[in-house]
Amino acid sequence: MKPLHYRAHFERHRTERIGWLRAAVLGANDGIISTASLVAGVAAAQASHANIMTTAVAGLVAGAMSMAAGEFVSVHSQADTEKADLERERDELATDGEAELRELTAIYVRRGLEPVLANEVATQLMAHDALGAHARDELGISEALSARPLQAAMASAVSFAVGAAMPLTVVALAPERSLLQWTVVSAAFFLALLGAIAATIGGTPVARSAMRVTFWGTLAMAVTAGVGALFGAPP
How do residues 159-175 score in pLDDT, each as one tens digit?
899 999 999 999 999 88
Amino acid at 228: G
Residues with Cβ < 8 Å from 66, sequence gap 6 or more?
A: none
The pLDDT value recorded for residue 189 is: 92
The pLDDT value recorded for residue 187 is: 92
Cβ-in-10-Å burial (0-12, 13-18, 19+) of 75 comes to buried
Distance CA 130, CA 137 (A): 11
Other CB atoms within 10 A of residue 191 CB: 28
Q: CA gyration radius for the chain?
A: 25
Amino acid at 24: A
More confidently predicted of 16 and 96: 96
C-beta separation of 42 from 52 below 8 A: yes
- Mean pLDDT, range 106-129, rounded to an integer: 85
Task: Identify the H or E element spanning 80.
Answer: helix 49-95
Using one digit for the tens of pLDDT, what is the confidence trace for 34-85? 999 999 999 888 888 899 999 999 999 999 998 888 888 888 787 778 788 7
3-class secondary structure, 59: helix
Cβ-in-10-Å burial (0-12, 13-18, 19+) of 180 comes to buried
- What are the boundaries of each domain within the chain? 19-230
Residues with Cβ < 8 Å from 187, sequence gap 6 or more?
A: 32, 33, 36, 166, 167, 170, 217, 218, 221
pTM for the structure as a whole: 0.67
